[in-house]
Amino acid sequence: MPSYEVKYRDKSGSIRKANLYRQNEGELREYVASRSSELISIKTLEKRRDRSTSKRTSRVCLHEFTALLSMLLSSSLSARDALAVVQQVAERKDVQLLSRRVLDCIDKGSSFQEALVSEIADIPPVDEGLVKIGGRTGELAQVYGRLTGFLDEQKKIRDAFSGAMIYPIIILVVVVGGMIGLSVYALPKLLAIFSELGGAARDNLARSLANAQAVSYAVGILFFTVVVAYICISAIRKKNEAFAQKIDKVVIRIPLIGDIFALRSMLDFTFAMESLTKGGISLDEALLEASGAVSNQFIAEGILRVREAVRKGSALSTACSSSGAFKPDVSQWIAGGERTGH
């Protein structure tokens, strides 16, 4: 009996996810409706190998692995031959080992997609979806070419963001360190000197020292609280999907920073949609796969709402506009594409 991953909104409004066995999607829809819940998405689960022994793959390793495969596949090599060459020519040891592990899986009878999923424990959903489409359509070389371009653009955005944040972080560290050093080392030394002199100077310096120490402690406590809060929120976000959606919704509402995160999510979404639809995938399936390519859970949930609206007969631009997860200009671009047929 087929296995499905079902995402739905229960009576209380919470988003739930469950793996269910049913004969077909019709039975799943009836089951969700019988629980007075709103269906969000259905995804067929494929049999996968056990990933417990697979290693996590760094972003740099995956990028180089993808770029080398793209170059070799475009030279009309088969996937297996391309992997064998990557194993020989890659400069990084982790890329060589990854190629060897994937190649071993293929030699044992796995398909290229199954081998990747098995050996890359944290393979991005868009990579997995595109490899699946490339294998289905016979355009694996074209898919890897687009995927390499996408990873290059993502790296440029990450580098630009990191470069923009380095200077403010350095200034913050210097200011906090200077305040702590001033209150802990410099001012007590001055107080000891002026204590020998007595008078108003000593009293004024003592008050200044007390104020500086209070401010330093407050800044230190605030900094420590922010760091701990970030760690806790990140941990909860990974385990609680409803919480992740709320946090991600807040993040994209933050001026400037929110625009950067929203832009990255839209880049992921548009790339996935372009690649999937060019591969001959239906709009319904492309929206489902594209939702997994977006890191912001609020926008990903919005894409699934768009999918449900499209399945009910709404135009894609109308569904995006009413989802609440897309900026107005994105909906306008999509509407323009619908009118021109592009």
Q: What is the pLDDT of residues 214-236, one digit of tens each?
A: 777 787 788 889 889 989 988 88
Percent of the chain with pLDDT strictly greater than 70: 84
Q: How far is residue 144's CA from residue 65's CA, in Å, rounded to a whole number?
A: 10
Q: Residue 341: its pLDDT value, please?
A: 66
State how far the Cα of 318 lies from the Cα of 334, in Å rounded to an integer: 9
- DSSP string covering 270-287: HHHHHHHHHTT--HHHHH
pLDDT value of residue 228: 92
pLDDT at 257: 77
Would the pLDDT of 31 be above 50?
Answer: yes
Q: Which pLDDT does position 157 carry in this prediction?
A: 72
CA neighbor of 158 nearest in space, from 263, 256, 289: 263
Whether the CB-CB separation of 65 and 136 falls below 8 Å is answered with no
Q: Residue 48: what pLDDT?
A: 43
Q: Are 96 and 77 in contact (CB under 8 A)?
A: no
Range with top average pLDDT, 239-248, 273-282, 307-316, 325-334: 307-316
More confident residue, 46 or 260: 260
Tokens of 20: 């269910």
- The pLDDT value given to residue 1: 45
For 40-88, how does the pLDDT look when each residue is reduced to its tens digit (9 = 90+)?
A: 877 776 544 444 445 677 878 888 888 898 889 888 888 889 999 998 8
Instruction: Tell me the pTM.
Output: 0.61
pLDDT of residue 194: 66
Please enumerate in sequence order all residues whose Cβ is within 8 A of that of 306, keeping only pairs 6 or more positions apart, or say none: 287, 316, 319, 320, 323, 325, 326
What pLDDT, on a 0 to 100 scale, did the predictor assign at position 85? 92
Q: Distance between CA atoms of 183 and 13, rounded to whole angstroms?
A: 51
* pLDDT value of residue 51: 43
Q: Tell me, what's the pLDDT at 191? A: 67
What single string gives the DSSP state of each residue in 179-193? HHHIIIIIHHHHHHH
Q: How far apart are CA 264 and CA 126, in angstroms?
A: 14
| Per-residue model confidence as pLDDT tens digits over 100-117 | 988 888 888 887 877 887
The distance in angstroms from the start CA to the end CA of the chain is 40
